[in-house]
Amino acid sequence: MADNARENDLILAPNEYAYISDTNSGRINLVVGPTKYTLGNTDQPMKLDERNGKFLKCQLSDSVQLLPTADERSYIVLQNPAIDQNGEIILPKTGTTNNPADLNHGQTVILEGPRTLALWPGQIAQVIPGHQLRSNQYLITRVLNAKAAKENYEKATVELAHGKDGEKKSTESNQKDNVKDFVTGQLNIIKGTDVSFYIPPTGIEVVPDREGNFVRDAVTVERLEYAVLIDESGDKRYAYGPDVVFPKPTETFVERSKTSHNRVFKCMELNHLMGVYVKVIAPYKDEVYGEQEQGDELFITGKDQRIYYPRAEHSIIKYGKQVIHYAVQIGKGEARYILDKETGEVKTVVGECMYLADPRKEVFVKRALTEKEVGLMFPNNTEAMQYNQILNNQVSQDGYHEVDMSANKRRNVAGGGYSRSTVRLGGWNEDSVDDALDRNDNFTPPRTISLNSKYDGAVRVNIWPGYAVQVVSKTGEREVVVGPQAVILDYDQSLETLSLSKGRPKSTHNIKQDVYLRVKNNTVIDQITVETADLVNVNVQLAYRVNFDEDAKDRWFNVENYVQFLSDHLRSVIRNFIKKIGVDEFYSNSIDIIRDIVLGKAVDGTRPGNVFEANGMIIYDVEVLNVEISDEKIAQMLLNSQHNTVARTLKLSEVSADLLATKQIEEAKRIKINEERETAANMEKAEANAAQAKYEAKHDEIKAEAIRQDELDEIVERKLARRKAHNDEYIRVEAENAKIVTEAVVSRLGAVSDKLIAAIKAGNNAEIAKMLAENLPEATGTIGFLSEKGGIGGLLKLVEGTPLAKTFQDALADDKFDD
């Protein structure tokens, strides 16, 4: 039971309230916190659906709502207030249950913060922040109750804006004017330039925009910009920059597009090649154009007004989507037809120039050519033919065809012979959003232009080299024009038509019409049937080479069918001449005979040619393409005769060729033998030269070797002389040294010799003693021997390794000799 009791208890905080309905009586009570409320069996929590004003059953927890609270910079819009007899608003008591109060349904009051309040059952409250305005923002207010608005207007919270000079901008006079004019439903504008903060009084509401925003942005227009506002009455107002534009209560801004919502437009930049066509829809006076009446038309160009701002009295006449009219570029060698709409005159404007047509009285027109004229001027041009068929249909319906200047309707096709040139030198676009003056896309840097000279221009025919045309006007004037050059036809001019025979032979039954006369290197091919003196018919096919005399160009078009004229004349001359000669002679020499007839006999290798005085035509050459005999038997006989002649000629040629070949072979053999002999002689001569060169080289080698040997002998002799001198010197020095030694040793050996011999004998060396006695009989002899053997040292070496060695050493030791 305790849990159930807690579920039926409604506990509200100080800032909460709830609706409880008594299901027996249907009365809805208001419970305002802080308090505790225990639901009885007949109590039902309720919640107000503000969309339709109905109370809906809900859970106990869902019935709790927060009190609407407005801070000191906000306000509460309270609908259906409870008001006592003194006009004061009755507010529910807090911390208790309030029985429902009587409400003034349909009435709205404004409660400025700071405050909070619970809502009686049936009341709706909206907390709205106070409206803070910048200088380029504004509010739209609506009078809900004129009486309440008059009584409470002074209770509105209005903070005036400060100007640049620090002084408040006053709106008091404006407020007072509005007081006496308050009407229910009336709309007013509160500008941010006057008021920086605003809370409306009772009787007035602030109207939100489509997005629910109360504060609206005014339109800031810079220099060269403007805004357009349209009133509910249909009047337009143009606001030019620099300025902050505020609408009137009944005005709305015109937007450039439904998607961009941009309300700023660029002015139109004009130059002397651009203009705007306007209709005056209301009278006004202008410094440039003076007084203007309704219905007048103006063509404003850059010469008069470099910057054009639209105005309410002007209605711009558009062609398609194009607002600005541009000058048309007429290139060199091109032209355009201009129709004067007042006089009906069509003039031809020839380029090179830029032409800005005045749309009030001038219009570009196209000339529709007939099917025959197109075929003659532009042969085999299917596109030109189709285009003129379309143009003729338009002319038949409209009387004349006006050129559509809108870019999206220009025809862009290739080929043909018309001329059209359109150049755009700047543009004005209603969707422009850039700070700078908006220009056409063709002028995005690098600056380029688009030229399309096709079918819009005057009729122009290009005359190729070697061709000519005759221009004929409706007044009878004629002029022959020779290519290469282009001819621009005036609106009343056409080209002279020639009738030219076709086929072989040429006949007037097969005619081709043309306007182009080939005056150089023309070729006319014809076939003639002639009869020889022996009554044989011969078919001759000829090709005439034709020029036209430049000095006689005025007569070129005097003969309508110069081909038939030429063929008829030469047929007669050729037939008359061939009638006098036989078939064999003619068949054998047909080319020379025909050339003599047509061109005259050659004088110093030059033929005079054939001149036609009627039209200045000159035949300077003729070619015989074919000669054929009509009678097959005669033709076969001539053919057989020619075959026999050819056979004999071929046989003779064969024998001559064999003889020539034999001569060439033998001559080659002789040449070969002579060449071989000459080669052998050259080889022998080369071998002799080689031997001689080898001999001379060997001789030079021997001679060089002899010289080298002489030089070596001299070197050896010098070496021997040096060696001999060296040895002589050495001997001399040794002799002197030996002499000195000998003298020193002689005295010693004189005493030693006897003792030496005795010692040897005592040693039983009888043989050695004998030898020494024989070799050393005397002291002088001993000295001489020792000198030759190197003295005492030499003697000791002599007996080294023998029993005498010790004997000599002892003897020498006794006498105390030293070497």
Q: What is the DSSP string of 245-313?
A: E---TTEEEPPS-TTT----EEPEE--TTEEEEEEE-S-EEETTTEEE-TT-EEEEETTT-SEE---TT
Structure confidence at residue 413 (pLDDT): 30
Is residue 292, in this structure, part of any structural domain at all? no
Is residue 30, in this structure, part of any structural domain at all? yes
Residue with the two structure tokens 């000159």 = 618
What totals of helices (H) and strands (E) does the chain contain, helices first? 13, 51
Contacts of 41 (CB under 8 A, 6+ apart): none
Q: 177 and 238 in one domain? A: no
Residue with the two structure tokens 């805004």 = 227
Is residue 699, in this structure, part of any structural domain at all? no
Q: 100 and 27 in one domain? A: yes
Residue pair 89/148 in contact (Cβ under 8 Å)? The answer is no
Q: 369 and 431 in one domain? A: yes
Distance CA 157, CA 120 (A): 26
Is residue 786, in this structure, part of any structural domain at all? no
Is residue 608, in this structure, part of any structural domain at all? yes
> Is the dihedral angle over the CA atoms 47, 50, 51, 55 positive or is it negative?
positive
**Host H or E run for residue 621:** strand 617-629
Structure confidence at residue 614 (pLDDT): 92
SS3 576: helix
Per-state percent for the chain, helix, strand, coil, to nearest 5: 35, 30, 35
**Angle CA(67)–CA(71)–CA(73) in degrees, nearest 5?**
145
* Residue 541, strand partner residues: 527, 626
Contacts of 80 (CB under 8 A, 6+ apart): 103, 104, 105, 106, 107, 120, 122, 123, 124
Query: What is the per-residue pLDDT across 72-122, written as a single tens digit (0 to 9) for each?
Result: 999 999 999 999 888 889 999 999 999 999 999 989 999 999 999 999 999
Contacts of 808 (CB under 8 A, 6+ apart): 756, 795, 796, 799
Q: 542 and 431 in one domain? A: no
Give the pTM. Answer: 0.50
Is residue 283, in this structure, part of any structural domain at all? no
- Structure-token pair, residue 289: 């154009």
Q: 502 and 625 in one domain? A: yes
- Structure-token pair, residue 52: 């339709």
Q: 560 and 605 in one domain? A: yes
- Please say which residue of 603, 629, 655 terminates a domain: 629
Residue pair 328/421 in contact (Cβ under 8 Å)? The answer is yes
State phi, psi for 228 to the nearest 5 degrees: -120, 130
Tell me the percentage of the chain whose pLDDT exceeds 70. Answer: 79
Is residue 282, in this structure, part of any structural domain at all? no
Q: 334 and 418 in one domain? A: yes
Q: 625 and 502 in one domain? A: yes
Residues of the chain with pLDDT under 70: 1-6, 163-180, 258-260, 394-456, 642, 741-742, 744-819
Closest CA to 135 of 158, 173, 164, 167: 164
Domain membership of residue 504 as a residue range: 497-629
Contacts of 340 (CB under 8 A, 6+ apart): 346, 347, 361, 362
Is residue 684, in this structure, part of any structural domain at all? no
Structure confidence at residue 418 (pLDDT): 36
State phi, psi for 128 to the nearest 5 degrees: -125, 130
**Host H or E run for residue 804:** helix 804-814
Q: 228 and 140 in one domain? A: no
Mean pLDDT of the chain: 81
Structure confidence at residue 720 (pLDDT): 87
Structure confidence at residue 173 (pLDDT): 42
Q: 175 and 72 in one domain? A: no
Q: 135 and 121 in one domain? A: no
CATH number at residue 550: 3.30.479.30
- Please say which residue of 106, 127, 148 terminates a domain: 127
Structure confidence at residue 403 (pLDDT): 41
Q: 625 and 501 in one domain? A: yes
The b/e string for 622-642 (b: 16+ C-beta within 10 A; e otherwise) is bebeebebeeeebbeebeeee
- Please say which residue of 380, 412, 444 terminates a domain: 444
Intra-chain end-to-end CA distance of the chain, in Å: 163
Structure confidence at residue 556 (pLDDT): 94
Domain count, the chain: 5
Distance CA 580, CA 317 (A): 84
> Is the dihedral angle over the CA atoms 527, 531, 532, 536 positive or is it negative?
positive
Residue pair 223/199 in contact (Cβ under 8 Å)? The answer is no
